[in-house]
């Protein structure tokens, strides 16, 4: 199921404050959610397009990175 | 019993978050539409709203995602805990209608559907934003009860448009067969029209697509949407337009109705082509307010 672990990580950290904490403790979170290096990197860089390409559900990208969207 | 009135209308967090701060020219068409719907509801005094809505990863996750889920709860907190701060609206506790909800569940199961069911759904903009505008929080809490029916519109693969249409028919049959005390029923379908949520095109609105949808509804041709594939819908109007399933189910639950488009605006603040359409029932004996609209009947 493409993007499952990534989507799970975003759903359980579904707001900008939670995502900020996630990135502050990236290695722990990467291990907890069994993310690939590429997935963790996309989260760290808040690369919204890459997250989408990696299969994260776009609704979950929106919620977790609400502060990174222009609108 | 049959639905006496129907509503399809867009939902988006921004339609609450930024409602007061939207430019007046964008707020006005929707404000007028919502005012008309409030007047219609005040005239009708419904007992229950059967609401076709969708989850936003607040009730379900990809660990398990149901195609359909019926809310059996005796109360519904709208919005869910924490949603009030995000959506900038107070949380209110609406009543559920467990007797009717259980009946609908069992009736649609007898008709070949196997929905999930829930004693406690987490409502986000899906139900909260429409109720904010239909029953503003500064007035007394209305006695109207809510029966939520969630349709998966966000985690593909989705139940087909045809299947959602058929679910609406099954819900209509369930209402017709209800053995309990008759209720005055409103059918609500929320979501759409065009919006790209969290996708690379986030923020776009396809006004042409939105107007086509409204035109099809107005002309009594909503069923033509059943032929649209999800790829076609998503490419033209974004993942958010897949929420038109909720509309499709509502149309089918209404059966025959006269569509009455009330307003549309490309609500940039809410990143959503936002519409509201009243559906006046035309086959309910003794309902004086029916068929006051214009347009073609299905």
At residue B60, what are phi and psi to the nearest 5 degrees? -125, 165
So what's the pLDDT on residue B216? Answer: 98
Q: Which residues of B touch A58 (CB under 8 A)?
A: 196-199, 202, 239
Distance of CA A19 to the CA centre of its chain: 7
Peptide bond into B40 cis (omega under 30): no
What lies within 8 Å, CB to CB, of A45 at 6+ separation is none
Q: What angle do CA B38, B53, B21 make, to 5 degrees?
A: 55
What whole-number distance in Å separates Cα of residue B2 and Cα of residue B4?
A: 6
Give domain limits for chain A.
4-69
Q: Which class for B181: exposed (0-12), middle (13-18), buried (19 or more C-beta within 10 A)?
A: exposed
Instruction: Please judge whether A71 and B271 are an interchain contact, meaning their C-beta atoms are less than 8 angstroms apart.
Output: yes
Q: How far is B58 from chain A (nearest CA, A)?
A: 9
Q: Residues with Cβ < 8 Å from B292, sequence gap 6 or more?
A: B258, B260, B280
Cα Dmax for chain A: 32
| The predicted structure's pLDDT at residue B298 | 39
Widest Cα–Cα separation across chain B: 51
Which helix H or strand E contains B50, and what residues bound it? strand B48-53
Kindly provide the ipTM of the predicted complex, given to two decimals: 0.97
pLDDT of residue B284: 77
d(CA B75, CA B112): 28
The reply to whether residue A58 touches residue B56, judged by beta carbons under 8 angstroms, is no
Q: Give the integer Cα–Cα distance in Å for B157 and B173.
A: 27
pLDDT tens, residue order, chain B (298 aa): 999 999 999 999 999 999 999 999 999 999 999 999 999 999 999 999 999 999 999 999 999 999 999 999 999 999 999 999 999 999 999 999 999 999 999 999 999 999 999 999 999 999 999 999 999 999 999 999 999 999 999 999 999 999 999 999 999 999 999 999 999 999 999 999 999 999 999 999 999 999 999 999 999 999 999 999 999 999 999 999 999 999 999 999 999 999 999 999 999 999 999 999 999 999 776 665 544 544 444 3
pTM attached to this predicted model? 0.96
State yes or no: cis peptide before B53, omega within 30 of 0. no
* Residue to substitute from A2, A57, A65, interface B, most B β-carbons within 10 A: A57
């Amino acid at each position: 199921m493409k993007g499952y672990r990534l989507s799970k990580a975003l759903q359980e950290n579904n707001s900008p404050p939670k995502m900020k904490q996630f990135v502050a403790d990236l290695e722990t979170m990467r291990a907890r959610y069994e993310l690939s290096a590429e997935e963790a990197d996309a989260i760290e860089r808040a690369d919204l397009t890459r997250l989408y390409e990696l299969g994260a559900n776009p609704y979950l990208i929106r919620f977790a990175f609400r502060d990174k969207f222009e609108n | 019993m049959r639905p006496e009135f129907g509503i399809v209308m867009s939902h988006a967090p921004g339609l609450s978050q930024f409602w007061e701060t939207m430019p007046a020219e964008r707020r006005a068409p929707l404000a007028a539409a919502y005012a008309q719907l409030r007047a219609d509801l005040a005239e009708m005094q419904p007992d229950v709203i059967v609401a076709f809505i969708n989850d936003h990863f607040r009730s379900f996750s990809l660990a398990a995602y149901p195609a359909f889920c019926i809310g059996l709860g005796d109360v519904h907190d709208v919005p869910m805990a924490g949603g009030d701060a995000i959506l900038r609206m107070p949380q209110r506790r609406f009543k559920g209608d467990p007797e009717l909800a259980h009946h609908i569940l069992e009736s649609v199961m007898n008709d070949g559907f196997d929905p999930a069911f829930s004693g406690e759904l987490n409502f986000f903009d899906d139900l909260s934003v429409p109720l904010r505008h239909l029953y503003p929080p500064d007035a007394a809490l209305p006695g109207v009860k809510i029966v939520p029916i969630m349709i998966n519109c966000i985690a593909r693969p989705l139940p087909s448009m045809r299947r959602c249409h058929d679910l609406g028919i099954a819900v209509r049959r369930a209402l017709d067969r209800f053995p309990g005390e008759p209720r005055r029923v409103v059918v609500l379908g929320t979501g759409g029209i065009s919006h790209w949520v969290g996708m690379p095109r986030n923020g776009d609105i396809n006004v042409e697509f939105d107007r086509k949808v409204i035109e099809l509804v107005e002309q009594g041709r909503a069923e033509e949407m059943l032929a649209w594939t999800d790829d076609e819908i998503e490419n033209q109007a974004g993942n958010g337009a897949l929420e038109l399933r909720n509309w499709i189910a509502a149309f089918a639950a209404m059966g025959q109705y006269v569509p009455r488009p009330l307003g549309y605006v490309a609500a940039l603040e809410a990143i959503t082509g936002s519409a509201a359409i009243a559906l006046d029932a035309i086959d309910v004996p003794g309902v004086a307010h029916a068929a006051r609209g214009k347009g073609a009947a299905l």
